[in-house]
Structure 1
Amino acid sequence: MRSRVRRWILEPLVRGLTGLPLALAAIPMALTGLAGPAARLQLRMAARFPVVGAGPAGHDVSPGPVRVLRHSLLVFVPALLAFAAAAMQLFVAYSGYLYPLRPDTIAAIGHPFTPDPQVLPGAWGGPTLVGAWAVHSAVALGVQVLCGVLLAGLCAAQNRLAPTGVSLAGERS
Structure 2
Amino acid sequence: MGNDLPLDHALTAIREALAAAHDLSLVHVRRTTDPDSYITVMHHPNPAARPEQMNQHSAYAATLQEAGWEQALSLGPLVLIPNIPPADTAPDTHIATWSATIDDVPDPVDAAYEARHLQHDSDLTEAVWTITESTGRCHLIITDDSPANVPEPEPDHAGRVEFHTPAHDHANHTDSAV
* TM-score normalised by length of structure 2: 0.25
Name the structure, 1 or 2, with higher relative contact order (CA <8 Å, separation 6+). 1
Which of the two has greater strand per residue? 2
Which of the two has greater helix per residue? 1
* TM-score normalised by length of structure 1: 0.26
Return the index of the structure with the highest Cα Rg.
1
